[in-house]
Structure 1
Amino acid sequence: MMTLPNILTLSRIVTIPLLAALLWWPQWQLGYALAFVLYCLMGITDYFDGYFARSSDKVSRLGQFLDPIADKLMIAAVILVLTAQGYLRGPYVGDLHVVAGLIILMREIAVSGLREFLAGLQVSVPVTRLAKWKTTLQLVALGGLILSGALPNWDWLHLLSLIALWSAAVLTVITGWDYLRVGLRHMD
Structure 2
Amino acid sequence: MIWNVPNILTALRLIAAPGVAVMFLFFTRPYADWFALVLFVGAAVTDWFDGYLARAWGQQTKLGAMLDPIADKAMVVIALMVIVGYSSMSPWLVLPATFILFREVFVSGLREFLGDTAGTLKVTSLAKWKTTLQMIAIAVLFAQGVFEHYLGMSIWGMDPEMVSSILSGQTDDLHGLWWKEAGMVWAGVIGLILLWVAAGLTLLTGWDYLRKATPFLKEDR
TM-score by length of 1: 0.88
Once the two structures are TM-superposed, the CA of residue 178 in structure 1 deviates from its matched residue by 0.9
Larger radius of gyration: 2
Per-residue deviation, residues 122-146 of structure 1 (Å, max 9, x unmatched): 6432322222221121111111101
Report the counterpart of residue 107 of structure 1 in structure 2. 103
For structure 2, the residue ranges without an aligned partner over 5 or more in a row are 149-180
Q: Quick check: 1:101–1:169 contact (8 Å CA) kept in 2?
A: yes
Superposed, which structure 2 residues align to 1:64-143 within 5 Å?
64-86=65-87, 89=89, 94-121=90-117, 123-143=119-139
Does residue 42 in structure 1 map to residue 43 in structure 2?
A: yes
Deviations 1:76-123 (A, max 9, x none): 110111111116x4xxxx335212111101111211222333342364
Over 3 Å off, 4+ runs: 23-27, 116-119
Q: Distance in 1 between matches of 2:146 and 2:49?
A: 26
Q: Unaligned 5+ residue runs, structure 1?
A: none
Aligned equivalents of 1:78 and 1:25: distance in 2? Answer: 16
Percent of residue pairs bearing the same amino acid type = 40
Aligned length: 183
1:21 is displaced (CA, Å) by 2.1
Give yes or no for contact 2:84–2:93 (8 Å, CA) kept in 1.
no
Asked if 1:186 is matched to 2:216, the reply is: yes
Q: Deviations over 1:63-84 (max 9, x none)?
A: 1111111111111110111111
1:26 Cα deviation from its structure 2 partner: 9.7
Cα RMSD, aligned residues only: 2.0
Query: 1:155, CA displacement in angstroms?
Result: 1.1
Q: How far does residue 2 in structure 1 lie from its aligned partner after superposition? A: 1.1
**Cα distance in 2 for residues equivalent to 1:17 and 1:121:** 30
Within 1, Cα distance between the matches of 2:74 and 2:123? 18
Query: What's the TM-score, normalizing by structure 2?
Result: 0.76
Q: For the residues of structure 2 that align with 1:23 and 1:156, how far apart are their CA atoms?
A: 23
